[in-house]
Amino acid sequence: MSLTSEGGHGAVPTGAEIPVEPRPAASRRDWPLYEVFVRGKRGLNHVHVGSLHAPDDEMAVHAARDVYTRRNEGVSIWVVKAADITASSPDEKDPLFAPSGDKVYRHPTFYEIPEDVPHM
């Protein structure tokens, strides 16, 4: 048996005898997956903090409070079903972001202004 302590709380086995299923059949028993976003304080954006399972939107907000804000980490919570998120795909990165790649003139540094122009 080969062992590792990588798992934080101490040594656990790592050998091939430990089953790992990257794509298991979705469990019938479990609730839908929600992604959780928290606004840390007024003036900041909501930031993604993790996910959880809940039977409905309201329960997801309550669970998010308990899991992600036990120490006043937030003033506002968003939850959204993971299945409802549409995202760009990492391997489309080049074509998707290409339109902004060659537009250097969108940046202030593109413009040469003499040092002695004040307040610019």
Partner 1 sequence: MSAPTLERPAPDEAALQRQFDATIAADHRIEPRDWMPEGYRRTLIRQVAQHAHSEIIGMQPEGDWLLAAPSLRRKAILLAKVQDEAGHGMYLYSAAETLGADRADLTDKLIERKQKYSSIFNYPTLSYADVGVIGWLVDGAAICNQVPLCRSSYGPYARAMIRICKEESFHQRQGYELLMTMMRGTDEQRAMVQDSVDRWWWPSLMMFGPPDDDSPNSAQSMAWGIKRHSNDELRQRFVDMSVPQAEFLGVTLPDPDLTWDEQSGHWRFGAIDWDEFKRVISGHGPANDERIARRRAARDDNAWVTEAATAYARKHDGGRPAEEHAGSAA
Residues 6+ apart with CB under 8 A from 60: 34, 36, 52, 54, 79
| One residue of 41, 44, 62, 67 binding partner 1 per CB under 8 A | 67
Size of interface with partner 1, in residues (CB under 8 A): 57
Query: 81 — phi, psi (to 5°)?
Result: -60, 130
| Rounded distance between C-alpha atoms, residue 84 and residue 112, angstroms | 45
Closer to partner 1 at the Cβ: 91 or 102? 91
Q: Which stretch binds partner 1 (CB under 8 A): 38-46, 88-96, 102-110, 112-120?
A: 88-96
Half-sphere exposure of 57 (CA within 13 A, CB side): 6
Indicate whether 22 belongs to the interface with partner 1 (CB under 8 A).
Answer: yes
Indicate whether 44 belongs to the interface with partner 1 (CB under 8 A).
Answer: no
Q: Which of 78, 70, 72, 67 is nearest to 38 (CA)?
A: 78
Instruction: Tell me which residues touch partner 1 (CB under 8 A).
Output: 1-14, 18-27, 29-33, 35, 48-53, 55-57, 59, 66-68, 70-71, 81-83, 85-92, 95
